[in-house]
């Protein structure tokens, strides 16, 4: 997937720098280059990253097509690292910088917004409370814009559902902190989360994680009947990795507790 020791990231893009729309590189990547890079990201994300960093340094730093792909490559390489590894954080934050810069240059292209959302959401695991709230709002904005273009994109529906679910479940202390930082802190409801999770399930009905989130929403609404329906559904599916195995075990435990 990538080498065990990714190349140094000392020359990485500054995530705080978002380029103005007037700076768009109109030359852009050629179709053949885009196809080759897309294949390389899947086959060898580290090589794709290295090649794109050269293009970036040689004058393509304002090309949205390059920037979202750089973000995607960073995300792909980061997936090889454990969450506690500082390289993972470094790559995710770098990728967020590229992806957000791409979105600032072109907010009319779905794929640009999609990867800006993915990297922004991933980065919230590595920032403090104030930035997490601030970036959460940015994350939601990208999701809303992308889903306005393609309302059936199940992965983005799931992400927006996760956002609403996490906001709806903020503790009293977290809400007080949000109110201290922002005049209008984020608001969302379990019903909003459930609507997006169900929308994702309409498109992809064998996604264990999404199904468990649907059940969690029904449990939060004290609707044990519907919660049990989805918990039973999750248990019938085959896990493809350790994370899904844990979710199935959670579903079994919740089913015992909520009327299975």
- pLDDT tens digits, one per residue of 176-225: 888 888 878 889 999 999 999 999 999 999 999 999 999 999 999 999 99
Helix (H) or strand (E) holding 167: helix 154-168
Would the CA dihedral through 128, 82, 87, 57 be positive or negative? negative
* 132-145: average pLDDT: 94
Pair 247, 231: CB distance under 8 Å: no
Write the CA distances from 109 to 70, 99, 116, integer angstroms. 16, 12, 11
Encode pLDDT of 10-61 as tens digits: 333 333 333 333 344 444 567 778 889 999 999 999 999 999 999 999 887 7
- How many other C-beta atoms can be found within 10 angstroms of the C-beta atom of residue 250? 16
Encode pLDDT of 47-98 as tens digits: 999 999 999 998 877 899 999 999 999 999 999 998 889 999 999 999 999 9
Q: What integer pLDDT is reported at residue 252 of this predicted model?
A: 97
Q: What integer pLDDT is reported at residue 28 of this predicted model?
A: 58
Write the CA distances from 260 to 34, 212, 236, 251, 256, integer angstroms. 50, 14, 14, 10, 5
Give the residue, 255 or 173, on which the prediction is more confident. 255
Q: What integer pLDDT is reported at residue 129 of this predicted model?
A: 82
Q: What integer pLDDT is reported at residue 29 of this predicted model?
A: 66
Q: Answer whether residue 9 shows pLDDT above 80.
A: no
The set of long-range contacts for 124-127, using a CB threshold of 8 Å and a minimum separation of 24, is 125/83, 125/92, 126/89, 126/92, 126/93
Domains of the chain: 1-148 (1.25.40), 151-260 (1.25.40.10)
Pair 20, 103: CB distance under 8 Å: no
> What tokens appear for 106 in the block?
């072109």
Q: Answer whether residue 168 shows pLDDT above 60.
A: yes
Pair 150, 160: CB distance under 8 Å: no
d(CA 84, CA 88): 8
Q: What integer pLDDT is reported at residue 11 of this predicted model?
A: 33
Q: Answer whether residue 232 shows pLDDT above 50.
A: yes
Q: What integer pLDDT is reported at residue 185 of this predicted model?
A: 81
Pair 190, 218: CB distance under 8 Å: no
> What tokens appear for 48 in the block?
């794709």
């Amino acid at each position: 997937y990538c080498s065990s020791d990714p190349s140094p990231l000392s020359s990485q893009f500054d995530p705080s720098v978002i380029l103005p729309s007037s700076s768009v590189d109109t030359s852009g990547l050629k179709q053949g280059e885009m196809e080759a890079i897309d294949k390389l990201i899947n086959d060898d994300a580290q090589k794709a990253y290295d090649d794109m960093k050269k293009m970036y340094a040689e004058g393509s730093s304002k090309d949205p097509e390059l920037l979202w792909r750089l973000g995607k490559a960073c995300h792909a390489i980061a997936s090889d690292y454990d969450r506690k590894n500082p390289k993972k954080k470094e790559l995710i934050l770098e990728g967020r910088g590229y992806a957000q810069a791409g979105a600032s240059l072109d907010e009319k292209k779905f794929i640009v917004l999609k990867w800006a959302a993915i990297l922004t959401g991933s980065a919230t695991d590595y920032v403090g409370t104030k930035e997490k709230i601030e970036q959460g709002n940015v994350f939601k904005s990208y999701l809303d814009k992308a889903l306005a273009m393609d309302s059936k994109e199940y992965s983005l529906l799931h992400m927006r559902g996760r956002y609403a679910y996490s906001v709806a479940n903020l503790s009293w202390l977290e809400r007080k902190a949000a109110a201290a930082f922002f005049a209008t802190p984020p608001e969302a409801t379990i019903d909003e989360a459930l609507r997006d999770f169900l929308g994702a399930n309409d498109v992809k009905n064998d996604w264990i994680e999404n199904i468990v989130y649907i059940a969690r929403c029904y449990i939060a609404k004290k609707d044990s009947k519907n919660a049990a329906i989805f918990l039973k559904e999750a248990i019938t599916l085959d896990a493809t990795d350790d994370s899904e195995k844990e979710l199935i075990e959670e579903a079994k435990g919740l089913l015992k507790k909520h009327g299975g």
